[in-house]
Structure 1
Amino acid sequence: MKDPFVRSPRGVDPADNIVQQARQGSIAAIVQVLNDNLTDLGVRTRAVFAEGWLQLLCESPQAQSLDVDEVVERIQTLLESISPRSIRRVNVNCRVAREEQLLWLDEIRRDPENQLLWSKSISIRRPNLLKRALSHQRQPAGPRKVALPRRLQPSQPRNQDRDRQLLMGSLILILLLLLGGVWLYRTWMAASPPDSTDLPADDPPTPAETSPAPPPQVDPFAQAVTLAEQASFAGQTAESRAEWLDLAAKWQRAADLMAQVPPEDSRYQTARDRTQLYRQNSQVAQQRAEGVEQPDD
């Protein structure tokens, strides 16, 4: 049986693997990166991607730890550093820590005034391609931890020979980017979600466009079953912390879908039982992730 997960090669720091997964858009990996870099604030995060927004929940036992300016600035800096794929809009929700609520987003939407201390929406800017390439060139080779500095380090003495080598390398890199710039730009634009500002405003909409077809009916029960089967299969080979966190997110998503089955559905009772089962599986996967020992650097 083929292993559904890609294993990290020996000698590669697991932190790099987590950052790479976060860049690919893994919600579990993004949460791990944020939690690892917000420890000094005493803030823990949870996240879910809904309706084109990354919904973040930040919790701390003390309200003074949730300063809006510091928390938002730190989160925006971290997300812009990793630049997760297809995520450009983020809504940061903060509240004092309480007993865990699996459907926290629904609770916040129903009663935001009593559930939250504050809420802030931010936009994630994608780094310039040349800036990203130069940043990767200047990083030393070999294993490293997550490349997200918490504070700026003091400047080091300049090395003229090194600066000359970097300048020559930068010039060569610029020439290569110019040769392949059109292809890289089109690939990048294809991977980015379309913005409403990109839509043409000159042509008036046709009658067919003003009456869009109704969206197809979605069966949350079938989606939850499919997702649960995938999670069950992946759980047979999960070993690393990232894999268990991804499993916990899948089980949680399957439970949320089951909870959407309406009472008039003939499968409603089955859906209620499976909702509870999937939530238990998500908690087990979360515990397994916390129990995985992190390898020494």
Structure 2
Amino acid sequence: MNNQTNDIFIQAHHGSVAAIILILNENLATLDVRIRAIFSDGVLQVLCEAPQVQQLEKSYLVEEVKQILETISPRNIQKVKINSRIVQEQQLLWLEDITRDPESQLLWSQQITLTKPNIFQQIANNFQRNKPKATKKTLSKNIYSRKTQNPNKFDVIGIFFMSMLMLTLGIQINRWFNFSGIDKITASENQVNQNLEDIEAKSKEAFNEAVRLAEKAVANGKTAESQEEWMAIAKTWEQAAELMTSVSPSYSRYDVAVNRAELYHRNSDTTRKKAEEVMNNY
């Protein structure tokens, strides 16, 4: 599991939006905040959704998202716009919706610029990420503390030579990572791609099976008469809803799955009421 997490982190660092979404959702799960994201016109658009306003407190959420993204340090992504809204039934084309009418669609939005870590922070992050108990907070800590109060001449000279030594060491380590570690990085990227493909395949299978069950429920509803038949149809609707709920946020038709899951739940409730009506008529 730790290797898989590292693989996803590497893929996110290389700019995979799907991997970034997975990491953000994992880190914000305890807040019951769901993340959507899309890279558009040079800006990573991030949408934070939650059932209640209290869960979307601006200053805290912006700082959390910023810290996570700066730890990932995704390539070619520097500008980020963080948007928030209460979870809505309609999820299709969310970026177009909030762009067209932000005042009615959003609680708030905040654009930020990610600070890229220097070479020493990158080395520290690489070592920290390989530790089993590392967290996003320890990953983002600076590995140096600087003297800022009244340095004398010898302190300045010492700091200069130490800086040069560490810079040289950092360059050599960075070269080692770039050359001797290239096979490992390539293997990790391939593993992440395989994991994402597996998630995509499972989500597609669940989506198609849910559609098949929904069609079956509709067909059976045209001929159902007894309470048992209506209850069986309600159960079919519920199974279809559960399959749609299992679809991953990284799946291309995830927004459709969310809408269908809600619709299938309502159809199940309606069908159960129909079964109760049939029973009461006897």
Instruction: Please report the TM-score for the alignment, with normalisation by the length of structure 2.
Output: 0.52
Question: 2:38 maps to what in 1?
Answer: 48
Given residue 79 of structure 1, which amino acid in structure 2 is its aligned partner?
A: L
| 1:8-27 equivalences in 2 (<5 Å) | 13-27=3-17
- Are the aligned partners of 1:244 and 1:288 in contact in 2 as well (CA < 8 Å)? no
Q: 1:114 Cα deviation (Å)?
A: 0.7
Cα deviation 1:207-257 (Å, max 9, x = unaligned): xxxxxxxxxxxxxxxxxxxxxxxxxxxxxxx863x33556799xxxxxxxx
Residue 15 (structure 2) pairs with residue 61 (structure 1): no
- Are the aligned partners of 1:94 and 1:117 in contact in 2 as well (CA < 8 Å)? yes
Separation of aligned partners in 1, 2:139 and 2:169? 33
CA gap of 1:148–1:95, structure 2 versus 1, over 3 A, is same
Q: Give the greater-gyration-radius structure (CA).
A: 2
CA gap of 1:92–1:152, structure 2 versus 1, over 3 A, is closer
CA gap of 1:25–1:248, structure 2 versus 1, over 3 A, is farther
- Are the aligned partners of 1:25 and 1:86 in contact in 2 as well (CA < 8 Å)? yes
CA gap of 1:82–1:175, structure 2 versus 1, over 3 A, is same
Separation of aligned partners in 2, 1:150 and 1:99? 37
Question: 1:177 maps to what in 2?
Answer: 170
Residue 43 (structure 2) pairs with residue 39 (structure 1): no
Q: 1:27 Cα deviation (Å)?
A: 0.3
Q: 1:173 Cα deviation (Å)?
A: 5.2
Unaligned runs of 5+ in 1: 1-10, 154-169, 185-237, 250-281, 291-297
Separation of aligned partners in 1, 2:140 and 2:250? 35
CA gap of 1:107–1:150, structure 2 versus 1, over 3 A, is farther
Separation of aligned partners in 2, 1:288 and 1:114? 26
Question: 1:243 maps to what in 2?
Answer: 197
Q: 1:39 Cα deviation (Å)?
A: 1.1
CA gap of 1:128–1:144, structure 2 versus 1, over 3 A, is same
Instruction: Please report the TM-score for the alignment, with normalisation by the length of structure 1.
Output: 0.50
- Are the aligned partners of 1:13 and 1:143 in contact in 2 as well (CA < 8 Å)? no
Alignment partner for residue 125 of structure 1, among 110, 115, 120? Answer: 115
Unaligned runs of 5+ in 2: 142-162, 177-192, 204-243, 255-282
More helix by share: 2
Separation of aligned partners in 2, 1:176 and 1:68? 41
Alignment partner for residue 136 of structure 2, among 148, 160, 178? Answer: 148
- Are the aligned partners of 2:200 and 2:250 in contact in 1 as well (CA < 8 Å)? no
Q: 1:148 Cα deviation (Å)?
A: 1.4
- Are the aligned partners of 2:71 and 2:139 in contact in 1 as well (CA < 8 Å)? no
Separation of aligned partners in 2, 1:180 and 1:150? 21
CA gap of 1:284–1:73, structure 2 versus 1, over 3 A, is closer
Given residue 74 of structure 1, which amino acid in structure 2 is its aligned partner?
A: E
| 1:55-204 equivalences in 2 (<5 Å) | 55-137=45-127, 139=128, 147-149=135-137, 174-177=167-170
Q: 1:174 Cα deviation (Å)?
A: 3.3
RMSD across aligned C-alpha pairs, in angstroms?
Answer: 4.1
CA gap of 1:144–1:151, structure 2 versus 1, over 3 A, is closer
Separation of aligned partners in 2, 1:110 and 1:69? 25
Given residue 176 of structure 1, which amino acid in structure 2 is its aligned partner?
A: L
Q: How many residues align?
A: 177
Given residue 42 of structure 1, which amino acid in structure 2 is its aligned partner?
A: D
Separation of aligned partners in 1, 2:140 and 2:171? 32
